[in-house]
Structure 1
Amino acid sequence: MELPRGATALLLLLLLALAVCRGQGCDCGKNKRTENCALENGICKCISPGTNVTVDCETLTSKCLLMKAEVYNFKKFGRSKPKHAHVDNDGIYDPECDNNGKFKAKQCNGTKTCWCVNSAGVRRTDKTDGNLNCSEVVRTSWIIIEMKHLERNTAAGEDTIEETIKNAFAQRYHLNKKLIYVKYEKPFITIELKQNTSEKSLTDADIADAAYYFEKDVKGDSVMWNDPFSIEVAQEPLQLQDTVIFYVDEKPPEFSMQRLTAGVIAVIVVVILAIVVGIIVLVFTTRKRGKYEKAEVKEMNEMHRELRS
């Protein structure tokens, strides 16, 4: 049965509209934890869950938005865990992000316990009540990543491994190579990321975001869409483990002795006592030595007198 011309034209228009709509959808290559994705001028842009912030899928999403999305999805889909789920103790909390997706200086939990964070979202003060004043977001300008690799079947020189890691880090996380320093002493690897305020423009990737992407990659929980993490040296994957990340801010943290645990305080007391005892022993030893030297000089003088007489 042949459709009327008007119905055929309408059907063609509907099919065209569906094709256009489908063409506007996209996958966020740099952040699979997004929703409501659409193409804008050829660039895939999406909404980060838990906020109304739009992210550019060709660049790294800020660490604050990634953490926010992770907590949001956890709450949304409940507490049921997959069969092979594992505990992830990487300091995840539900952060407050500004309109640009960056960490706000002051963070609080549901009990109104608050603390100040740096630009990497890491706590830099004691936890206290809601009256805490965090005047600024102190920039994290130096990040140190320490890890080691498993045994390899293929040997490779230190220079080769260091250069391979630097190139892979720069390419995957969109960092300038001049910000990346790699040191290798088999099997230990240290990656240092240094980026002060003057070296960070609005379009540059932030070292805190890059470090968080890397942390997720190493833990097998990559944020990137259909882009598995792998660093190959001499055509063999470099398998990393025991990753620890340290953050150094442009201003020192503001922790007080009052918040130290009893164990830490006990260790400090023991160290101080050991130092005091060492000083006391040194003083008594010096005094005894001085008395001995004086007695020895006195005896020598008496001997000289006897010889002369």
Structure 2
Amino acid sequence: MESALGAALFLILVAASAAQDGCICPMNKRTFCDMESGSCICMAVGSNQMVDCSTLTSKCLLMKAEMSTVKPRNFIKPKHAFLDNDGLYHPECDANGIFKARQCNNTDTCWCVNSAGVRRTDKGDQNMRCSELVRTSQILIELRHKEREAAFLEAEVENSLRQFIQKRYLLHQNFIPAVKYDYPFIQIDLKQNLMQKSYRDVDIADVAYYFEKDIKHDSLFHSNNAFNLSVSGEPLDIEEILIYYIDEKAPEFSMKQLSAGIIAVVVVVVLSFITGITVLVLTRRRKTGKYEKVEIKEMREMRRGQNA
């Protein structure tokens, strides 16, 4: 424990010294930097992998750095307590800072992720195999801004967000096919398949992660790169963000992953169908019985007429 605290203190001192020399990574504050042969060299916290400070750092290295700086909890936990690690976990990254297809936690639970590091299968044990890293080719970012006296103009929202994303996150306009506005909701569509992405293009998953951190007031940029989101000079105050991931291959969740709401809808539909069939059968039986009684009555009357 003491050695870990000592190492953390050392990194803080190194980072402070480097900052005084003007050697920082403007695109990633979770780095420690040092001058080497006249060049500012920056390494990612938690992985010690060198990062390119002229562009965005991969989401995998960012998550690894964040988990490395989280203070461990030493309280005794109840027997059945558990953490939902789907949002943030300690990822395994390859030599290029990309998520490995299979991720596991310290309880020997494993699952498969997409290129954005988002779980796309049920969880299993150490025997679980993930044959490939499925690429996330589309991301939908849905925002809701605070109530205001009048809505923004749709064209102004689109232009402002396009320019903002391109300038702050270095994402080319080709990868932003649509920005839709329906007061107070905004939807930003990001698309990027592997054939379209060049080596220098930032990944849409990294863009979405940086953007989400900015919205949640936990910016990954240094303070001299402040987050100021506005539309035609007026601040755009976001109070909610949802991010949907669409992969090149469908996720492999089982029925048990369906939410309670979806299951309830399915049950209602099935029960309605069964009820409809039951009513139809009973109605036909009643009609058939009625028709039979009418026929018998008519035959009796005809016989009486013949006998008369």
Query: What TM-score does the superposition give when structure 2 sets the normalisation length?
Result: 0.76
**Aligned twin of 1:146:** 142
Counterpart for residue 207 of structure 1: 204
Q: Corresponding residue for 1:276?
A: 273
- Name the CA distance, whole Å, in 2 between partners of 1:89 and 1:108: 10
Q: Give 2:153's aligned residue.
A: 157
Q: Distance in 2 between matches of 1:49 and 1:201?
A: 26
Q: Secondary structure at the match of 2:41?
A: strand
Equivalent position of 1:11 in the other structure: none
The answer to whether structure 1 residue 63 and structure 2 residue 36 are counterparts is no
Any stretches of 5+ residues in structure 1 without a counterpart?
Answer: 1-20, 81-87, 299-309
Determine whether 1:196 maps to 2:196.
Answer: no
Is 1:34 matched with 2:31? yes
Report the equivalent of 1:233: 231
Q: Are 1:96 and 2:89 counterparts?
A: no
Q: Once the two structures are superposed, what CA deviation does each residue of 1:102-143 show, in whole Å capped at 9, x if it has no partner?
A: 100000000110000000000001100011111111000010
Is the alpha carbon distance of 1:114 and 1:74 closer, same or farther for their aligned partners in structure 2, counting shifts above 3 Å? same
Structure 2: runs of 5 or more not aligned:
1-17, 75-83, 296-308
**Bigger mean CA deviation after superposition, 165-174 or 152-161:** 152-161
Structure 1 contact 24–39 (Cα < 8 Å) conserved: no
TM-score (norm 1): 0.75
Q: Partner of 1:142: helix, strand, or coil?
A: strand
3-state SS in 1 of match to 2:208: helix
Q: Distance in 2 between matches of 1:170 and 1:152?
A: 26
**1:51 CA drift (Å):** 1.0
Matched, 1:216 2:197: no
Deviates most, 61-70 or 156-165: 156-165
Q: 1:40 to 1:193 in 2, by over 3 A?
A: farther
The residue number in structure 1 matching 2:306 is none
Letter in 2 for 1:190: Q
Judge conservation of contact 1:25–1:38 (CA < 8 Å) in 2: no
Relative distance call for 1:149 and 1:259 in structure 2 (3 A) is closer
Aligned pair in 2 of structure 1 residues 57, 278: CA closer, same or farther (>3 Å)? farther
Aligned to 1:122: 118
Q: Alignment partner of 1:199: what SS?
A: coil
Compute the displacement of 1:278 (Å).
5.7
Q: Which amino acid aligns with 2:195?
A: S
The structural deviation recorded for 1:153 is: 5.8
CA distance in 2 between partners of 1:40 and 1:232 (Å): 41
Provide the rounded CA distance (Å) in 2 between the counterparts of 1:266 and 1:201.
42
3-state DSSP of counterpart to 2:140: strand
Task: Specify whether residues 113 and 264 from structure 1 end up closer, same or farther in structure 2 by C-alpha distance, changes over 3 A only.
Answer: farther
Q: Structure 1 pair 193/40, CA: closer, same or farther in 2 (3 Å)?
A: farther
Which of structure 1's runs of 4+ aligned residues deviate more than 4 A? 21-25, 39-42, 258-261, 281-288
Amino acid at match of 2:48: N
Task: Quote the Cα distance in structure 1 between the aligned partners of 2:115 and 2:221.
Answer: 22
Q: How many pairs are equivalent? A: 264
CA deviations 1:243-291 (Å, max 9, x no partner) are 0000000000011125557x46852652342352365168559969x98
Shift of 1:28: 0.7
Q: What is the deviation of 1:22?
A: 8.9
> In the alignment, is residue 170 of structure 1 matched against residue 166 of structure 2?
yes
On the 8 A contact 2:146/2:238 being kept in 1, the answer is yes
Is the CA contact (8 Å cut-off) linking 1:28 and 1:37 kept in structure 2? no
Q: Using a 3 Å threshold, how does the CA distance of structure 1 residues 89 and 162 change in structure 2: closer, same or farther?
A: farther
| Matched position secondary structure for 1:135 | coil
Distance in 1 (CA, whole Å) between partners of 2:257 and 2:251 is: 13
**1:107 aligns to what SS in structure 2?**
strand
* Aligned equivalents of 1:191, 1:40: Cα separation in 2: 43
**Which residue of 122, 133, 140 maps to 2:129?**
133
How has the CA–CA distance of structure 1 residues 23 and 115 changed in structure 2, closer, same or farther, with 3 Å as cutoff?
same
Q: How big is the alpha-carbon RMSD for the aligned residues of Structure 1 and Structure 2? A: 3.2
* Corresponding residue number in structure 2 for 1:306: none
Q: Is the alpha carbon distance of 1:91 and 1:135 closer, same or farther for their aligned partners in structure 2, counting shifts above 3 Å? A: same
